[in-house]
Amino acid sequence: MTKDALPIHGSTAVVLGPRGTAYDVLREAFESVGVKLVDDTGGQDVAVPDICCALLTGTAVLDSATPSAPLPRGNLARIAAAMAGRGSGRMILVLDGGGGLHTGVPAEEAAARAADLAWWRQLAARLSCHGVLANQIRVGIAPCLSHRPGPQRTAAVLRHLPLRRVAQPADLAAAVLHLASEGCGYTVAETIPVDGGMGLTMVPPLRPSRARTESTEPFDQSRGGADLFDLSGRHCLVVGGSSGIGREAALELARRGADVTVVARREREILAVAHEIATLGRRAEAVRQDVSHLDALEPLVERLWSAARIDALVYATGLCEPEAPDHQPALRERALDVNYRGYVTLADALVRRWASDRRGGAVVAIGSAGAGFVPGLESYAASKAALIQHTRSLAVSGGRHRIRANCVQPGLISTPMADASAHEGFQDAWLARIPQGRAGLPGDVAPLVAYLVSDASAYVTGAVLHVDGGLALGGLPPLAGNGGLA
């Protein structure tokens, strides 16, 4: 896979932070896709890079050989202002640690990092309306970040990870390339956890598992860079692929080399999507199926599997209807069937297959920011919340079988369902709380789905990643001017 297949934002990048292993990982990642690494001298006459990476690594909790240094806020603010003036740019913060509170971290380090991260997220919110996207990558235990916890402490950490291995350079490099890509255009101040599921706070199983428990490398370490995004030879099952996010996800998977089976209720629409996939040179199959007919789903998986192994499930279907007292019980049951039970039935059938053949698999569930606190959407919210929780639990139980499970949480996305169900005033109220100032498109979500399906995210599991223009930051609508960028 080339830079053309994974379009990167611009052609120059700068890395701010100590020279060493992490710096070298980022340099090699950018060079692999034709991006030139340039030095930052701090001068006003220096050309503005297209991509800026900052390293906030060296946490004491992972016995880093290189102590953590403060974030270079002055340089970052200067570069950010220049990017904003130009109207484009990508900024990426790489930090280490597992999220949450670790008593092994000195209180001063924890406080300094919290302040740096709050400063960064505030900057990200202000930059987003100027065409500059700032996001974070949090890396778990990683020798490539100079972590040296020793064999006993490493084993103790791995015991609490669904994916029982340390982070490899390719894991960090791929996450950086995703955030630096043109397709990552509606993600603001989001954190990709490249940590093997460390942030899930997993408790080891109650009973010994018969699944493999040794450290595993789930992809060929000779591959790297854009090659990890290549889906050639994979077969993906996309549920809800007739329109909106599901349709665009199916097409994006095909563009990256996957064969795709599209499942939905509307036959004409899925036949059209299958035809588009075929024109991309990939094998396509259209299956008309209502996922609320639960008894038909496991036989469907068995039939599809008998023809070709399924490597990934993308569940993008959904039922979103406002509630009314006269049909509330029926709506609640149907919402649970479409948004949750259908997903669980399909995922269970695939997990059994994947655990049996020991080749692993990937699950990507599409949640919704509308599953928060929107009046009249109680059943929709509950069913989507169940989908998210099940996915994170699946990440924990499936990790030993090399099964990864992640959620994508879209915000206000212009889809047929959203456009039909949300009146203009409702959408205006949403837009007032989105720092980027626009609604998203299905094409903004599809690249993240493809990343989570691919080996590029082989060390990402149990994540809930937002594609919402910054809505998840949770700020109020502007009560005053946006202020400066510093």
Of 425 and 56, more confident? 56
384 classed as catalytic? yes
Q: How high is the pLDDT of residue 100?
A: 74
pLDDT of 213 above 60: no
> Could you tell me the pLDDT band of residue 381, with boundaries at 50, 70 and 90?
confident
pLDDT of 222 above 60: yes
The amino acid sitting at 39 is D
Percent of the chain with pLDDT over 90: 67
pLDDT of 435 above 60: yes
Q: Which residues pair with 14 in a beta bridge?
A: 52
368 classed as catalytic? yes
What rounded mean pLDDT belongs to the chain? 89
User: What are 249-277's pLDDT values in tens digits?
Assistant: 999 999 999 999 999 999 999 999 999 99
> Could you tell me the pLDDT band of residue 379, with boundaries at 50, 70 and 90?
confident
The catalytic residue among 181, 186, 343, 384 is 384
Range with lowest mean pLDDT among 258-262, 352-356, 417-421: 417-421
Q: Which residues pair with 413 in a beta bridge?
A: 440
Q: How high is the pLDDT of residue 322?
A: 72
> Could you tell me the pLDDT band of residue 332, with boundaries at 50, 70 and 90?
confident
Percent of the chain with pLDDT over 70: 89
> Could you tell me the pLDDT band of residue 351, with boundaries at 50, 70 and 90?
very high
User: What are 145-188's pLDDT values in tens digits?
Assistant: 888 888 988 898 898 899 999 999 999 999 999 999 999 999 99
Q: From the CB of residue 326, how many other CB atoms can be counted at a distance below 10 Å? A: 8
> According to CATH, where is 3.40.50.720 located in the chain?
12-200, 231-473
Q: How high is the pLDDT of residue 214?
A: 45
Closest CA to 282 of 301, 260, 297, 262: 260
Q: Any idea which fold 12-200 has?
A: Rossmann fold (3.40.50)
SS3 sequence of the chain: CCCCCCCECCCEEEEECCCCHHHHHHHHHHHHCCCEECCCCCCCCCCCCCEEEEEECCCHHHCECCCCCCCCHHHHHHHHHHHHHHCCEEEEEEEECCCCCCCCCCHHHHHHHHHHHHHHHHHHHHHHHHCEEEEEEEECCCHHHCECCHHHHHHHHHCCCCCCCCCCHHHHHHHHHHHCECCCCCCCCCEEEECCCHHHCCCCCCCCCCCCCCCCCCCCCCCCHHHHHCCCCCEEEEECCCCHHHHHHHHHHHHCCCEEEEEECCHHHHHHHHHHHHHCCCCEEEEECCCCCHHHHHHHHHHHHHHCCCCEEEECCCCCCCCCHHHHHHHHHHHHHHHHHHHHHHHHHHHHHHHHHCCCEEEEEECCHHHCCCCCCHHHHHHHHHHHHHHHHHHHHHHHHCEEEEEEEECCECCHHHHHHCCHHHHHHHHCCCCCCCCECHHHHHHHHHHHHCHHHCCCCCCEEEECCCHHHCCCCCCCCCCCCC
Q: How high is the pLDDT of residue 422?
A: 63
Region 19-48 average pLDDT: 84
The amino acid sitting at 384 is K
Range with lowest mean pLDDT among 37-46, 64-73, 163-172, 242-251: 37-46
State the Cα–Cα distance between residues 431 and 429, nearest whole angstrom: 6
Q: How high is the pLDDT of residue 245?
A: 96
Q: How high is the pLDDT of residue 374?
A: 74
Q: Which of 26-35, 41-50, 212-221, 415-424 has the highest mean pLDDT?
A: 26-35
Whether 270 and 218 have beta carbons less than 8 Å apart is answered as no
Q: How high is the pLDDT of residue 478?
A: 67
186 classed as catalytic? no
* CATH top-level class of 231-473: alpha beta
pLDDT of 290 above 80: yes
Of 206 and 336, more confident? 336
The catalytic residue among 242, 243, 368, 383 is 368
Q: How high is the pLDDT of residue 42?
A: 62
pLDDT of 220 above 70: no
Q: Given the structure tokens 């789903």, which residue do they identify? A: 297
pLDDT of 196 above 70: yes
The catalytic residue among 343, 380, 451, 459 is 380
